[in-house]
Structure 1
Amino acid sequence: MSLNLQDIPRVEHLTKSEFLKDYFKPQRPVVIERCIEDWPAYTKWNLDFMKAAAADITVPLYDDRPVDYKEGFNQPHAKMKMNAYVDLLKSKPTKYRIFLWNILKEVPELQNDFSYPDFGLRFMKGLPMLFFGGMNSHTFMHYDIDLANIFHFHFEGKKECILFDQKQNEYLYKIPHSLITREDIDFSNPDFDKWPALKKAKGWVCELHHGEVLYMPEGYWHYMHYITPGFSMSLRALARNPGNLSKAVYNVFVMRLLDNTMRRIQGQKWIDWKNEQAIVRTHKKMVNP
């Protein structure tokens, strides 16, 4: 048995009006296959190019270890020079990933290699973020703190992307006061005996290749599995739905403060309680829907 996932629709090109009508307004994901062929990045950007462009820059690295109460929000697990990291990616499988790396801040000249597509949304132009991963590395299932509209541009290699909308929260073993599900769930091959609620979740899936763009609507859960070494860039546009905007404000100014405070007060007990509650609350909803 596998997750109940439907293929994300694919189009070669998409006009602004088509995007707004068919995908943004109904908040449906889509893969655009030939959106960036006029970008210099389309032909230039690969792992070797990034190795040369950011050779001696120290980059933050993350792996799939469980959240620890001593770690701050998005605190990296290790650091490495970019040239050494690319060598590692190309030499063997590694769980180390680069997460939320701002290229404008580190290598400003790279902003000349891409542009902001006109899809009728206002992009946050100071926040183009890069994400790198080695073969078989993956992120936890999560959604972004600001519930933004995300355009995920993939470069080199193959990446599996699994998405769920916020209506699926009650089936995903969401950790209270956080943006993630249980970290011990393998969404590529879930154990339904251990996580039975996942049988009811309805989601989306695609495999991204070089030059393809995935649109992830506001607040969508996403799990990224690097089938081969590669990297992607995300451009973000603010949530438009008033409910999502209010959730984003709550996440940034209340939820994150509460979580950090409880980590300091209760330490690992807080993390353990949240992990337990993810199971208790999910299975309670299954019994009393």
Structure 2
Amino acid sequence: MTVTTRGILLKEIPRFETLSKRDFYENYVKAQKPVVLTKLTEDWPAYKKWRLNYINSVAGSKTVPLYDDRPVSHEEGFNEAHTTMLMSEYIQLLESKPTNYRIFLYNLMREVPVLQNDFKWPNIGLRLVKQLPMLFFGGAGAKVFMHFDIDYANILHFHFHGKKKCIIFPPSESKYLYKVPHALISREDIDFDNPDFEKFPALRHAEGYICELNHGEMLYMPEGYWHYMKYETAGFSMSLRAFPRGINHLAKALYNVTIMRFYDTLMRKVQGQKWIDYKNLRALTDTHRKLIREGKTI
């Protein structure tokens, strides 16, 4: 089903209880299309155990890095945390009130090995990277700005304890998403829940997908997909990843890791806020220039 959310054309992501390995690989991995599986985790210990109180019981003493929704600053490093807190204090905050603080791309599995016993590696046609199960936490209303992952991975994204809204776009829609040059993000002042089409008219031409994840459900995001996440309630997620299959995406991932990230860090140090402002302006002008070339209205 196709829906229009605040003026952006989004399709509901197909949902199945389970899929065979062949169906999943042929119809979604090879086709590079997203899908939600609702019962893949029902035989995992995590399905019954993974609630915030359980995480508190096994990891409450761990100091965790926290991020909020402040814009990228030249004073901060690549993916550098904004503050830290004991996990027990953070969970108490999550359970008491809405908060923008999130745990992002944190290898809690390595820090708390007992969690590795709670899930199974799905045998659904992807060669998953066993060293990189990552956990993500957020409070009610917390948002993860629109971005794509540096390694162009195929991602299995599992959600626990609550509800999470996901808006995603294939790489083909990058030209409409105000991608910031030398970065993995769109303009951070775009509110994908309520976009300003006067300032960002290209968004009207983007075609993406939307879903809501509930406890234990999994979203498959193909390689290079843009994603925006909003925690409708406090909760947490786990991502398992597989390297990109295509040579083109492997090359882009290698460039991002070896050249782009370090060049951007260097330019922040050299030019400071001027570099950030320049990139945000380029995101606007480059996107509108492409619209004009395509004969689309601004």
Instruction: Select which of 167, 171, 177 maps to 2:172.
Output: 167
Give 1:143's aligned residue.
148
RMSD (Å), alpha carbons: 0.7
Cα distance in structure 1, aligned partners of 2:26 and 2:292: 38
TM-score (norm. length: structure 1): 0.99
Cα distance in structure 1, aligned partners of 2:85 and 2:57: 15
Give 2:161's aligned residue.
156
Cα distance in structure 2, aligned partners of 1:33 and 1:63: 29
Gaps of 5+ in 1: none
Q: Is the 8 A contact 1:104 1:126 kept in 2?
A: no
* 1:252 and 2:260 are equivalent in the alignment: no
Cα distance in structure 1, aligned partners of 2:101 and 2:221: 24
Instruction: Select which of 43, 51, 68 maps to 1:46.
Output: 51
Alignment of 1:38-117 (within 5 A): 38-117=43-122
Q: Deviations over 1:17-44 (max 9, x none)?
A: 0101110000000000000111000000
Q: Output the amino acid matched with 1:141.
A: M
Could you list the runs of 4 or more consecutive aligned residues of structure 1 that deviate by over 3 angstroms after TM superposition?
A: none
Q: Is the 8 A contact 1:10 1:32 kept in 2?
A: yes
Shift of 1:103: 2.0
Cα distance in structure 2, aligned partners of 1:250 and 1:284: 25
Q: Output the amino acid matched with 1:250.
A: Y
Cα distance in structure 2, aligned partners of 1:137 and 1:239: 29
Cα distance in structure 2, aligned partners of 1:35 and 1:189: 33
Give 1:194's aligned residue.
199
| SS of structure 2 residue aligned to 1:139 | strand
Q: Is the 8 A contact 1:152 1:233 kept in 2?
A: yes
Q: Is the 8 A contact 1:153 1:234 kept in 2?
A: yes
Q: Output the amino acid matched with 1:221.
A: W
Q: Output the amino acid matched with 2:165.
A: E
Alignment of 1:124-139 (within 5 A): 124-139=129-144
| SS of structure 1 residue aligned to 2:146 | coil
Give 2:242's aligned residue.
237
Give 2:12's aligned residue.
7
Cα distance in structure 2, aligned partners of 1:2 and 1:157: 27
| SS of structure 2 residue aligned to 1:273 | helix
Cα distance in structure 2, aligned partners of 1:222 and 1:105: 25
Instruction: Select which of 270, 277, 296 maps to 1:272.
Output: 277
Q: Deviations over 1:84-130 (max 9, x none)?
A: 00000010110000001112211011100011100121111111000
Shift of 1:189: 1.3
Give 1:122's aligned residue.
127
Give 1:183's aligned residue.
188
Shift of 1:286: 1.1
- Which range moved further: 183-192 or 171-180? 183-192
Shift of 1:192: 1.1
Give 2:290's aligned residue.
285
TM-score (norm. length: structure 2): 0.96
Aligned length: 289
Q: Output the amino acid matched with 2:156.
A: F
Q: Is the 8 A contact 1:150 1:215 kept in 2?
A: yes
Give 1:29's aligned residue.
34
Cα distance in structure 1, aligned partners of 2:45 and 2:227: 28
| SS of structure 1 residue aligned to 2:147 | coil
Q: Output the amino acid matched with 2:277.
A: D
Cα distance in structure 1, aligned partners of 2:235 and 2:30: 31
Q: Output the amino acid matched with 1:13.
A: T
Q: Deviations over 1:236-288 (max 9, x none)?
A: 00101110000000000010111011111111110010001000101111111
Q: Output the amino acid matched with 2:139.
A: G
| SS of structure 2 residue aligned to 1:76 | coil
| SS of structure 2 residue aligned to 1:278 | helix
